[in-house]
Amino acid sequence: MDSGPTLHATRTAARVLKCDDVREKLHAVQSAQNALDAAKAMLLAELDMSKDYELDGASTLNAWVRAQLRMNTRQGSALVRSAVVLRDLPRVAEAAIAGRISAAHVQVFAYGLKHIGLEPMSQFEEPFVDVAFNCGPGDLFEAVKHLKDKIHPEELDQAWHDGMDKEDFQIDALPDGWHVTGFLNTVTGAKLKRVLDAISAPRDADDTRTGSQRRVQGIDDLASSVLANGLPSDKGIRPHLSVIVDADTVAAAAKQVEQTITDPHSALIPAPTTQPAKLAGHGAIGPNLLMYFLCVSDLTAFVMKQGGGTRQDQILNLGTTRHDPSLKQRRAVLVRQQGVCATPGCNHTHLEIHHTIWWSLGGPTDLDLLIGLCVRCHHLLHRGLLHVTGNAVDGFEFTNRADRPLRKRRRSNFRRAA
C-alpha cells in the first residue's frame, strides 16, 4: 500500500490544527480520519491475501479483527467489507486513501458490490465517486440503489412478495400504555403513511407540537372519528371504549382529586381498598386517568348484584346514559375561546370540554363553568400538573403544580357566547 496519501492527510491535519479557523480544523481532521479509515481497510486487504492472521490463531480475517483490534462483530464486518471494496474498486480506493470520501461512503460501495455485482459497479465507478465527492452517503446510496433497481427489477416484485409473507400488526397492552409492533406490505404501508402524513401535518405556523405529538394526536383524532361515525353498529351499539368501575371507586378517586385541587401539597388520602377501574381490553387504570375518562365520556349507571362462585353478576337496574355537555354548549365554548385552548400560552385548536368544578365532584354543567382545553393540557390537568379555577364571567385562573399563576384569563379574553 502506498502510504503517501495517508501521511499527507495526517500532516495536513497536524499543520491546520495550529491555525485559528475552527472550520478548517474540522475539515482537516475529517480528511485525516477518512484517510486513516481507508488505510486500515487497505492493510486488512493485504492481511487477507497473505493469511498472516492465522499466525495469531485466528481462522478468519473477521475473527482476527475482533480479537486483535477489539472491535465488535458489526464493526469488524464493516471493516472487512471496506477492505474488499478498496481491493476491487481502485478509483474508490484512491479517493478514500486521500481522505476525500468517508468510511460511510465506502460502505455504500460495499452494498453495491453485494447487491449489484463487480462488473456493473466497475462500469459506473467513476460517476459514483463523483457523487461521493459532492454528496453525503445517503445521496450516494440512492444513486447506487437506482442502478440496482434498473438492473434487477425482478427483485422489486420479490421484495413486495416477501413483504406480503412478513406482514403482521399487533397492539399489546402494557401497564403504561400500548405497544405497537408490526410490518406492513408495500401497498398497505403506503396507505397508512399517506393517512398519517395528512393527519399529523402542522395546523399552522403557530403549531408548536413536536412531530411525535402531532402523529399521536392525529391517530387519536382518526380513531375517535371512526369510533363515532365510521363503524357499523351491532344492533344499535357502536364500537366504543368501555371503562368498568364501581361507584365506591369513583367516590374514592374523586376524594383524591378534590384533595389535590384544594391542597396539592398535603399527604394523599390512602389508596382505596375497592377494586380499581378497568379499561376494557387493557386492564386496571389509576384514579387520575379514571377522572379524565369521566370528564370526556358518557356515563351509564348500573345497579348490580354480585354473583358467587361461577355465577355472573346480575344487572338489577339500568340508569340513563348521560350526554353532557350538549352540542350547543360545546359550540358556545369554542366560540367564546375563538377556537383556541384556554391555557395561557397554548395555541392548540383541537379542544375537549372540561368542567372547572369537576363533574365527578358534583360540578354543574353550566356554560360559565365549562372551558375548552387541548388534549395535552387536559391530560396535564388530570395528572395534577395544571389547575384551573374560576368561571367565564370573572375569568379563569391557571396555576401550575407549584401553585404559581400562569396568567389570568379575564372576561375580555373569553366573551360569553350569545
Q: In terms of domains, do 9 and 147 share one?
A: yes
Q: Are residues 95 and 101 in contact, defined by beta-carbon separation less than 8 angstroms?
A: yes
Q: In terms of domains, do 18 and 152 share one?
A: yes
Q: Give all strands of the β-sheet with 283-285 in edge-to-edge order.
A: 243-244, 277-279, 283-285
CA gap 294, 301 in Å, rounded:
12
Q: Is residue 135 part of a domain?
A: yes
Lowest-confidence segment of 21-30, 235-244, 349-358 by average pLDDT: 235-244
CA gap 20, 216 in Å, rounded:
47
Stretch 357-379: mean pLDDT, rounded?
82
pLDDT in tens, 199-215: 888 877 778 888 898 89
Residue predicted with more confidence, 361 or 60: 60
Residue predicted with more confidence, 76 or 388: 388
pTM for the whole thing? 0.49
Q: In terms of domains, do 79 and 147 share one?
A: yes
Q: If 0-12 CB within 10 Å is exposed, 13-18 middle and 19+ buried, where does residue 39 land?
A: buried
CA gap 387, 265 in Å, rounded:
13
Q: Is residue 410 part of a domain?
A: no
Instruction: State the pLDDT confidence band at 133, using cuts at 50, 70 and 90.
Output: very high
Stretch 131-147: mean pLDDT, rounded?
92
pLDDT in tens, 159-196: 766 776 778 888 888 888 889 998 887 778 888 888 88
Number of domains the chain contains: 3
Q: Is residue 408 part of a domain?
A: no
Question: CA geometry: angle at 230 spanning 225 and 236, to 5°?
Answer: 110
Q: Is residue 297 part of a domain?
A: yes
Report helix, strand or coil for 88.
helix
> Which of 131, 157, 183 is at the close of a domain?
157
What is the residue range of 59's domain?
4-157
Q: Is residue 303 part of a domain?
A: yes
Say whether pLDDT at 308 is over 60. Answer: no
Q: Is residue 23 part of a domain?
A: yes
Q: In terms of domains, do 41 and 134 share one?
A: yes
